[in-house]
Structure 1
Amino acid sequence: MPTDTILTSLVRRDWLTDSSLKSVITDYIEALRDQRYAERTIRIYLGCLAHFSFWLKAEEEKFTYIDSTLVKRFLREHLPTCTCPAPCYGNVGSSGAALRHLLKLLSCSQLLSPTAQNPVTIELARFGDYLTGTCGLRATTRDRAVQQVGAFLTQAYGSGAPNVSQLSATDIDAFFAALSSRLRPASLRIACNSLRSYFRYRALLGDATAGLAAALPRVADWRKVTLPKVLSDVELAAFLNAFDHTDPVGLRDYSIARFLLDLGLRGHEVAYLTLDSINWRRAMLTICNTKSKCVQQLPLPATTGEAVAQYLQQGRPQTTSRRLFVRHRAPFDKPLSVAAIRNSMNRAFVRCGLRDRFCNTHVLRRTMATRLQRSGVSIKEIADLLRHKSLDTASTYARVDMEQLRAVALPWPGSQQ
């Protein structure tokens, strides 16, 4: 279908063709076609861009200032209370997807001016470079820390230039008071660590941040007083039976589940596996994108290898990507993201009726470690397999074998003998 035909049939096309986005419409459509999006999806995304363009014009925003902050404002503030003339596309999911493609296009074509970045954005970019170059953090860990520090700096300074000397313990208390209403203790601890890293970074630049670091709250850690949540044998069997082996996506997701269960891989480690990661003759798996940034090799269990072989032969689509697990729907020729892997496991939990008890991928890693411990494997061996740097991290699995613990437990004083 020609590009002009898509625009001709588009509702509110004048909002798009008469806007500052008109210069990128053709490139936008071609980019979506290159990723094999359906024509209907392209039309919906263009409708979302038209709505966004109309809002930009009403807000009198300039084209060079389109960034992720502006997009979030449109999605979170405008769409829930939209009063634009009907008909217009107001779906948050479709609008978010359409605008993510727009931001990627603007970034690749350098249409987004670097001068549009505010002082907080520049500060966060430098902090991110410090986390990567000096601290050696992975991209996902770095981005999470940058996001949390960005929220703190935006709350403290708005769009103004950050000045650490103006911060006080009151600013920190106000930030965590807002977070505590929507975050769990584990997430609050991560936020504390992110701000502590930022204060350490500013201290290296000569700022006095010892008082600010001391003002960070100490969040109670209750993880060591409870047993790790894992799947029982019956639940594990139900989970593995929740995958459709006659469907290509089911074969892919089952292979992912085997990597998580048999080898205890993390979600991002599975996402970065390639066709070259498996040595079929030696039955070895090479993991390159580990949390410690070290290349590690693990033996490939027969069950895992059989699941992967079946997926490669019967399920994996034709693609130019060398990643082992790829998307089965547009955008094609793209690797499966960590979020997509997490969602595929969550859908399996829904199908087997365990969604109210389990979610995410890490429970499968814990299940593998617990099963090893109960079979007599030492904590040192479990730590090596899980690639833990410290034995303390794996020591939680020493508390899961209740029968052995009862055998060594002393009688409680005053109890009946």
Structure 2
Amino acid sequence: MPTKIQPTGLSRLALLVDAPLSCIATPYIEALQKQQYAKHTIELYLKCIIRFSCWLKTENLDLSSVTPKLIDHYLNDLMLLYPATVDARYFIRMDRAALRCLLILLPKQQVQITKKPIEAELDRFSDYLLNICGISPQTCVNRRQHICAFLKHRFDTAPPDISQISGDDIDAFFQHLALKWQPASLREVSSSVRSYLRFLALQGKHISVLLAFIPKISSCSHATLPKVLTDIQVDAFLKAFDCSYPVGMRDYAIARCLLDLGLRGQETAYLTLDSVDWRNATLTININKSKRVQQLPLSTSTGQAIAQYLFAGRPQTTSRILFIRHRAPFNQPLGVPAIRSAMNRAFVRCGLRSQFCNTHALRSTTATRLQKAGASIKEIADLLRHQSLDTAKTYARVDIELLRTVALPWPGSCS
């Protein structure tokens, strides 16, 4: 019995006697203690587990029935019971966090869901995207969701018969989406369906006719200029970080990586201590969309921010990840959602939250500042690690003042 939970823990554990999760309670507490969760948090999580165990008992379910899908069903039931208040949302988040830790603890064979034919097909498609196409995990998730919707629209609950897919099915699917989706979203779906058809072609399927049914949706991405921070806004944004305490040092160092080097959130999250070469002033990126090791020059401002965090802010840990969590579970990398939230909080503090709401605005700002400093499109593409120059050409249109100097007078005007 873990000693840190006594005596209140004993009263909690007593409620689990003859409950479906009685055998998992002690290992669950020990796992939380190993990750340095606070005693109060462990008590709250244990209360959530007890509530979930009682629900399992009323539903005549046992430990082997616990799956992510079952937990989602349980949380949906809780949302129907709780009134729509701030306190209710807090308790739902607490239950979700506690049960997420439970899923990690359970043996893998207990949390696997029996795969349906459509899920097996999606798994093969995901493996093709990740290991053959080399696309990013998030893009893989998005395309998997699009193809899942397509297969369910065509076959409903029946096992999918790929040979039965016709051009009319593709046409009907996009007509259905066009009633509620914006063109930008439809363009992503069309890319996903096109990618899926190429996957089928590798299996010997004849898809040339089907490709003709994928609609070509016009792109309006060049109709507007990219949203970027001005120099004044950049100064206000950087001053919004309080570097007098560890979390502020960490978030400021992350902001410098995003703003000075144009890193993506995922690239920043997976930087390690070995990524920084202090002697040669370079930063090595191992995790990126192209899945190639790339080196960037480490600017003085970015290096100083990282060094300050390492010497005065980073907690003692065995992890080699550069930016880690400062709250339980410890020794874990700071995820992309946490990085996004940290930057959004900074936007709130400097009064820019109504204009900017993600980390990509910082990446666009990097490119725009390079363009204004005289960098070529090729140099911008190299720094941002764009595989195509067309992606970086967007930033050639942002310097309005410079364009005015080369504009020809209107025919017949006095000037």
For the superposition of Structure 1 and Structure 2, which TM-score range results when normalised by the shorter chain?
0.7 to 0.9
- Tell me, which stretches of 5 or more residues in structure 2 are unaligned? none
User: Structure 1 residues 220, 262: closer, same or farther in 2, change over 3 A?
Assistant: same
Contact 2:68 2:111 in 1 (8 A): no
State the number of aligned residues: 406
Q: What letter is aligned with 2:173? A: I
TM-superposed deviation, 1:202 = 2.7
1:82-116 per-residue CA deviation (whole Å, 9 max, x = no partner) reads 289xxx9982211221222222222xx23426562
1:375-401 per-residue CA deviation (whole Å, 9 max, x = no partner) reads 111111111111111111100111011
User: Residue 25 of structure 2 corresponds to which residue in structure 1?
Assistant: 25
Q: What letter is aligned with 2:292? A: C
Q: What letter is aligned with 1:311? A: Y
* Pair 1:305 & 2:306 matched: no
TM-score (structure 2 length as normaliser): 0.88
**1:71-220 maps to which residues of 2 (within 5 A)?**
71-75=71-75, 77-82=76-81, 91-106=91-106, 109-112=107-110, 114=112, 116-154=114-152, 157=155, 160-167=158-165, 168-169=169-170, 172-173=173-174, 176-177=177-178, 180=181, 185-210=183-208, 213-220=211-218
Contact 2:5 2:39 in 1 (8 A): no
> More deviation in 186-195 or 299-308?
186-195
Q: 1:9 aligns with which of 5, 8, 11?
A: 11
SS in 1 for 2:283: strand
User: Structure 1 residues 224, 101: closer, same or farther in 2, change over 3 A?
Assistant: same
TM-superposed deviation, 1:217 = 4.4
User: Structure 1 residues 52, 121: closer, same or farther in 2, change over 3 A?
Assistant: farther
- Tell me, which stretches of 5 or more residues in structure 1 are unaligned? none
User: Structure 1 residues 341, 53: closer, same or farther in 2, change over 3 A?
Assistant: same
Q: What letter is aligned with 1:255? A: A
* Pair 1:43 & 2:43 matched: yes
SS in 2 for 1:116: coil
Distance 1:3 1:240 in 2: 42
User: Residue 69 of structure 1 corresponds to which residue in structure 2?
Assistant: 69
Distance 2:63 2:180 in 1: 33
Contact 1:64 1:116 in 2 (8 A): no
User: Structure 1 residues 398, 3: closer, same or farther in 2, change over 3 A?
Assistant: same
1:341-394 per-residue CA deviation (whole Å, 9 max, x = no partner) reads 111111100110100000111111110110111111111111111111111110
TM-superposed deviation, 1:130 = 1.1
Contact 2:282 2:295 in 1 (8 A): yes
User: Residue 323 of structure 1 corresponds to which residue in structure 2?
Assistant: 321
RMSD between aligned residues: 2.8
Distance 2:200 2:8 in 1: 51
User: Structure 1 residues 35, 150: closer, same or farther in 2, change over 3 A?
Assistant: farther
User: Residue 52 of structure 1 corresponds to which residue in structure 2?
Assistant: 52
User: Residue 334 of structure 2 corresponds to which residue in structure 1?
Assistant: 336
Percent identity between the two aligned chains: 52
SS in 2 for 1:286: strand
Contact 1:269 1:287 in 2 (8 A): yes
SS in 2 for 1:9: helix
**1:153-302 maps to which residues of 2 (within 5 A)?**
153-154=151-152, 157=155, 160-167=158-165, 168-169=169-170, 172-173=173-174, 176-177=177-178, 180=181, 185-210=183-208, 213-302=211-300
User: Structure 1 residues 80, 152: closer, same or farther in 2, change over 3 A?
Assistant: farther
User: Residue 363 of structure 1 corresponds to which residue in structure 2?
Assistant: 361
Contact 2:5 2:43 in 1 (8 A): no
User: Residue 397 of structure 2 corresponds to which residue in structure 1?
Assistant: 399
Q: What letter is aligned with 1:100? A: R
TM-superposed deviation, 1:21 = 2.7
Distance 2:408 2:188 in 1: 37
> More deviation in 198-207 or 275-284?
198-207
1:52-107 per-residue CA deviation (whole Å, 9 max, x = no partner) reads 334444445564343333333333x32221289xxx9982211221222222222x
TM-superposed deviation, 1:277 = 0.8
User: Structure 1 residues 382, 351: closer, same or farther in 2, change over 3 A?
Assistant: same
TM-superposed deviation, 1:127 = 1.6
Distance 2:309 2:289 in 1: 26
Contact 1:119 1:159 in 2 (8 A): no
User: Structure 1 residues 146, 25: closer, same or farther in 2, change over 3 A?
Assistant: farther
Distance 1:161 1:23 in 2: 38
> More deviation in 404-413 or 373-382?
404-413
TM-score (structure 1 length as normaliser): 0.87
User: Structure 1 residues 375, 148: closer, same or farther in 2, change over 3 A?
Assistant: same
